[in-house]
Amino acid sequence: MSSVDSRLFFAGRQRWRLVSKVQLATLLLLINIACVPFAQTDAAVEMIPGLPPLAQPECVILLHGLARTADSMEEMQEALQEAGYRVVNYDYPSREKPIAELAGSVIPAALAACDEGEPVVSINFVTHSLGGILVRYFISQQPIDKLGRVVMLSPPNHGSEVIDKLGDMPGFDWLNGPAGDQLGTEAGSVPNLLGKVDFELGIITGDRSINLILSMLIPGPDDGKVSIERAKIAGMTDFMVVHHSHPFIMSEPDVIEQTIYFLRYGRFSRSEPGLSRE
């Protein structure tokens, strides 16, 4: 091969790599956009036989995931309200600030919204993905008064290999913002620096993926964004794997049922077929 042919060959390879990275960045956009959940959950509370009314008023703060909006948590919100909880479904600009700044602004504002009106005896959290890391970060800096129970859905508690492999791609920062860049699996990533939890925490994660390309980047079973193993965290109270994917887990009826069950009883129910404990 001549020197000219050699230069053309390697230039062609570099262009192909760039095109491939741009294509993968486009895939990230497609899986991160706020999608309309497929599941309908109007009867979610009726799935729990004999659910007693709350003895005293409680609030639940909902925190959506990266590049999503509060709309993604609407089914969860409606079911929790039917179950008697005061619900704050807090919308925040997940792509605009790093985790520390998001936690420092989002959590206090949501807590203040919980305190509006009739006093509550406890404040609970239900989070999706990044939302769980915000709660962990905030609690690592200061305690939350009247903290009740926390349910995290598909949390990257030890980061995600997707960030490791694609974080340097063109357009990644634009799509996912500074918080997304902090969710890698390296020892110095924000999730891995937070350590074990010391509050009542139930974690539900999935083992189904709608993005097989991203799943190829993740060792072991995963939900298309986070592996089952990396969703776990030392100190958690209970852990459950369901057959759902990362983008839609918060809207699935069985997940909503299990979330309400944990908020009431501090554990997940094991009576439903298709649900497994890890």
**With 50 as the cut, is the pLDDT of residue 32 above it?**
no
The whole-angstrom separation of Cα 80 and Cα 102 is 25
Question: Mean pLDDT of all residues in the chain?
Answer: 86
pLDDT score recorded for residue 63 = 98
At residue 273, the pLDDT reads: 43
Query: Per-residue pLDDT averaged across 26-41, rounded?
Result: 42
Tokens of 268: 């997940």
Flag whether pLDDT at 22 surpasses 70. no
Decide: 204 and 151 in contact? Cβ < 8 Å.
yes
pTM: predicted TM-score of the whole model, two decimal places: 0.84
Residue 240: pLDDT over 50: yes
Please report which confidence band the pLDDT of residue 20 belongs to, taking 50, 70 and 90 as the band edges: low
Which of 266, 255, 202 has the alpha carbon at shortest distance from 47? 255
Average pLDDT over residues 166-187: 93
The full 3-state SS of the chain, as one line of letters, equals CCHHHHHHHHHHHHHHHHHHHHHHHHHHHHHHCCCCCCCCCCCCHHHCCCCCCCCCCEEEEEECCCCCCHHHHHHHHHHHHHCCCEEEEECCCCCCCCHHHHHHHHHHHHHHHHCCCCCCCEEEEEEECHHHHHHHHHHHHCCCCCEEEEEEECCCCCCCHHHHHHCCCCCHHHHHHHHHHCCCCCCCCHHHHCCCCCCEEEEEEECCCCCHHHHCCCCCCECCCCEHHHHCCCCCCEEEEECCCHHHHHHCHHHHHHHHHHHHHCCCCCCCCCCEEC
Domain 3-35+51-277, what fold?
Rossmann fold (3.40.50)
Q: What is the pLDDT of residues 89-109, one digit of tens each?
A: 999 999 999 999 999 999 999
Mean per-residue pLDDT for 227-241? 98
Q: pLDDT at residue 277 above 90?
A: no
- pLDDT (tens digit, 9 = 90+) per residue, 37-55? 444 444 444 557 778 899 9
- What does the domain layout of the chain look like in residue ranges? 3-35+51-277
